[in-house]
Each structure stands twice: as structure tokens, then as C-alpha cells.
Amino acid sequence: MRWDPLDEKIVTLLVADSRRSFAELGAEVGLSASAVKRRVDRLRADGVIEAFTVRLDPAALGWTVEGYVELYCRPSTPPEAIRRACAGLAEVVDASTVSGDADALVRIVAADMRHFEQVLEQIGAEGFVERTKSVLVLSPLIRRPPPTVH
């Protein structure tokens, strides 16, 4: 993969607003619209850009409760089993295996506390889950996409 400072700037601009036109991007980085399009096409082909998407504010949609759940699983539980169980729940917005005592960390958004509890019960009912530990988010302090600098 070829990656240079112009690619980095284009990606940074797209992360901030993926609806920018190639002409707008070109004006900001000093390239023609067609040159920017070629670079974006290459970044997509190289797998740097996976998709163009929309970021939603869960609270604006009525999902006002957010929490993190540590999953403690039975020995030899494969990560794929955790992924499958979490992928079926729309309320699960992130799930990762982690180091430390817990086996996985799951981020959940829900409409209210009862909804959060129902999702937690569904996860806890999975055969591989021995126990869970959850914490609720009081105030999100920093939310941003991953950095483009490597």
C-alpha cells in the first residue's frame, strides 16, 4: 500500500465529513477532483477506506442509556462464539476480546434502564457466559474516530 501525506489529509477530511465532494477535497489538498478520486479509489482498493457511513447520535434517537459489559466466559470459548452472540443484538454497538480478567468487553446502547437490563439478560443467558460485570456511562467525554496518523 502506498500512503503519503496527501492520502492522510484526504482520509482525515473524509473522516470528518464523508459527504465532501472530490472537488471540495481537491481544493483543500491542492489536487484536481479527478486526482482525488483516483486516490480515494486506490485507498478503497487497498482496504484503507472500508466504507462511507453515517454516525448517529444514539441519544437523539431515544437511546439514552449506555453501558459497558465485561464478559467472563467458560474456558476455551472461541471469540467467534462471542461475536455471533453479540452480532445478533442491535443494541451492541462494539464488542472486543480483551486482555485482563474479563474475556470480552461489550458496549451497549439502550432506550432506558429496563431495555439495558433486558439486553444484559440476553447476553448473560448465552451458554458460554459465566458472569458479567457492567458499568453505565454517565457522561461521554471524548468521542472521535481513530487517528489517521500512523
User: What domains sit in the chain, N to C, each tagged with a CATH number?
Assistant: 5-45 (1.10.10.10), 58-136 (3.30.70.920)
Q: What cell does 8 get? A: 492522510
Do 82 and 104 form a contact (C-beta atoms < 8 A)?
yes
Write down the mean pLDDT value for the chain: 93
One-letter amino acid for residue 33 of the chain: A
Each residue's pLDDT tens digit, 70-96: 999 999 999 999 999 999 999 999 999
Q: Residue 150: pLDDT above 60?
A: no
- Name the nearest CA neighbour of 43 among 68, 61, 18: 18
Question: For residue 148, what pLDDT band results from cuts at 50, 70 and 90?
Answer: low
- 10 Å CB burial of residue 104 (0-12, 13-18, 19+) is buried
- Please state, for a pLDDT cut of 70, what percent of the chain lies above it: 97
Is pTM beyond 0.85 here? no
Specify the pLDDT at position 1.
64
CA distance 18 to 66: 26
Cα–Cα distance measured from residue 91 to residue 108, given in angstroms and rounded to the nearest whole number: 5
